[in-house]
Amino acid sequence: MVIKPMIRSNICINAHPVGCAKETEKQIAYVKAQKAKRGIKAKAEGGKGPKTVLVLGCSTGYGLGSRISAAFEYGADTIGVSFEKQPTQTKGGTPGWYNNLAFDRAATAAGLKSSTFNADAFSDECRKTVIDELKSWGAKADLIIYSLASPVRTDPDSKVLYKSVIKPIGQEYAGAALDMMTGKITHAAASPAEGDEIPNTVKVMGGEDWERWIKQLKEAGVLAEGCRTVAYSYIGPALSHAIYRDGTIGEAKKDLEKRAHAIDASLKELGGAAYVSVNKGLITRSSAVIPIISLYLGILFKVMKAKGTHEGCIEQMERLFAERLYTGQDGAAATVPTDAEGRIRIDDWELDPAVQAEVDKIMPSVTEENVSTLVDLEGIRHDFLAINGFDVEGVDYTKDVADMSSIDA
């Protein structure tokens, strides 16, 4: 069958197997080029960077970018966990399924160990599987990336299913919403959280599960001396704070940051550390449906590209590794620069006052008549499609896909 993107209200509900694989391979090629440019030594070359890396939420976005950076810049063996819909010959799977397949294939070809588990990372059963795998390798993890994003989580103790929401707190949040595919601008609103929606969101997206992972890995004796762990967060500009930083997701991220300090203290006896990295705003499957966000990002991308500072997922994660986490001799872990609250800031270029001032100046003047001029409509549209394997260079989208479970053209 010929696969075309199926889009409903800024949500793409299908994926192209070959396109997803090509996009993953493109990110791998970028990291390899950066390795050569920076002169970074991989593990097999005597490098002192990460050697055994666990990525929780490894299939897309920052998690995938982290895994690619660890493996193809530093030569690390990696274990990845994500929960994906598996395809059949006639029915498609999630983008992450194809991304994982492409990563594992490339890692094997490069002589790197790579195990990917399609499992519920919130479960203790999954933790045991990962621990057993590390022990079978005879290895200890020296870096754990926590990049899980899910609408639901079942508590391992109570077995209660909790659901997260993206809502403001206390009052309605409203503003312009941009349809990336058509350029149409509408008014969108989000009602405030009610009942248990705030604590439930914290339960799903906060730091409780991250803390449980590190505790069980440590107790099992599979954390290396000097082990580091990093979780991801977002702050963003003032205009988005009501729906994000000061909303339900923001409460979860504040919990994540609070627990980072407790995790950090628990790793001190190993000479390790825990960090939250605050990253730049990007088009993702969730950000695309939040009021104002897609319009803001479209303007932001336009401004940052003009300044030469725009980054996608893979560029940010490569910079996080090379310019924050592993800056010592031969890629060794060194002192990590943080803000006053101990957070790594890779959103520094986004929140540059000059960038934000320009975005603030443009935002009120955008209309449907000038949207293609003031907004990087082509750029955010490409990013949105590429997440699902569409609009990727080198893919023939007119070609019949005979097997939906294969990433070969």
Element containing residue 74 per DSSP (H, E): helix 61-74
Question: Using an 8 Å Cβ cutoff, are 62 and 147 in contact?
Answer: yes
Please classify residue 117 by burial: count the beta carbons closer than 10 Å to its beta carbon, then call 0-12 exposed, 13-18 middle and 19+ buried. middle
327 secondary structure, DSSP code: -
Q: Which of 162, 173, 232, 244 is catalytic?
A: 244
> Could you tell me where the DSSP H helices lie in 323-405?
353-362, 371-374, 377-386
CA distance 161 to 200: 9
Task: Report how far Cα 102 is from the mean position of its chain's Cα atoms.
Answer: 17
Measured torsion, CA atoms of residues 144, 145, 147, 153, in degrees rounded to the nearest 10: 0
Give dist(CA 277, CA 124) in Å, integer: 25
SS3 85: coil
The verdict on whether 244 is a catalytic residue reads yes
Give the residue numbers annotated as catalytic, written as ranges.
244
